[in-house]
Amino acid sequence: MSVDTAHNLPPSTVYGPVKSWRVGNSLGIDLLFTSSICSFRCVYCQLGKILEHTAERKIYVPTAKVMEDLRASRWQEADIITFSGNGEPTLALNLAEVIRDIKAFTGKPLMVLTNATTLGDPRVRADLREADKVFCKLDAADDQTLLRVNRPVAGVTVRSIVDGIKALRAEFPGYLAVQMMFMPMNRKELEAMADLLNEIRPDEVQLNTPMRPVPRDWFRESRGNHLGLPYPAAQLKTVDRADALTIEAQLQELTGLKIVSIYRKD
């Protein structure tokens, strides 16, 4: 059996808990696991390389394997259980089944981090209704920037993403946040981003900038907090603290929404 090279353990679909600046102690669930699998290839992706660039929904890991790994994990220490892992969790066809089983077993709140490319599919939105929180990625206000920053599979546009988030917003009874990763290459789109936020009206906007190094290759352990792991990695250009505070103030003024920023974390 292969081992988790960082921890000398057999590989597991459950990792952490890891400390998250947004939600506290977060236990990660990885429904992709077999590889890095996503409908985006973001320039800042902490997985390093997306090896399967796809929008295909299928079962990548059986639910029974996830539940076995969960029982062997330190799930009791988690404040929240988060579906993220080695790619886009809504590509897993057993997402709703796993959410239901984990909720029944742990009684903990459950959250899904999604790149929002699949939300136009009503079956995906139905799956997400099983979660307590959904955080949707939105980094671009025009398709040219989307191509540069997120590098989606064919057919994904800013409009398809925003319409998908709006459809989820209308149906989802839980807490919906929009996450924005600001970098010099999308900094100029602030006002257009505010317009999109005013269309969506999420419960919260989360401002981030790519502080984590980007590994040059894919390592399964990159799904968690991999700072300090001995992998060759690149550091991207971030927005600095002063600029982040300006962005926050401008978005606040343009939208009136609740805004949290990585630059204000403890």
Which span (37-45, 67-75, 163-171, 242-250) binds ligand SF4, by CB under 6 A? 37-45
Task: Give yes or no for residue 140 binding ligand SF4 (CB under 6 A).
Answer: no
Nearest in space to 202 (alpha carbons), one of 193, 192, 189: 193
Task: Give yes or no for residue 139 binding ligand SF4 (CB under 6 A).
Answer: no
Q: What is the DSSP letter of 204?
A: E
Task: Give yes or no for residue 91 binding ligand SF4 (CB under 6 A).
Answer: no
Nearest in space to 153 (alpha carbons), one of 223, 31, 56: 56
Judged by beta carbon, residue 40 or residue 75, the one nearer ligand SF4 is 40
Answer for which of 29, 45, 134, 165 binds ligand SF4 (CB under 6 A) is 45
Answer for which of 17, 87, 213, 224 binds ligand SF4 (CB under 6 A) is 87
Q: Minimum CB separation from ligand SF4 for residue 130, in Å? A: 21
Q: Say if residues 239 and 246 touch (Cβ distance below 8 Å).
A: no
How many beta carbons lie within 10 A of that of residue 240, not counting itself?
Answer: 11
CA distance 65 to 10: 13
Task: Give yes or no for residue 124 binding ligand SF4 (CB under 6 A).
Answer: no
Q: Say if residues 181 and 208 touch (Cβ distance below 8 Å).
A: yes
Residues forming contacts to ligand SF4 in the complex (CB under 6 A) are 38, 40-42, 45, 47, 50, 87-88, 115, 137
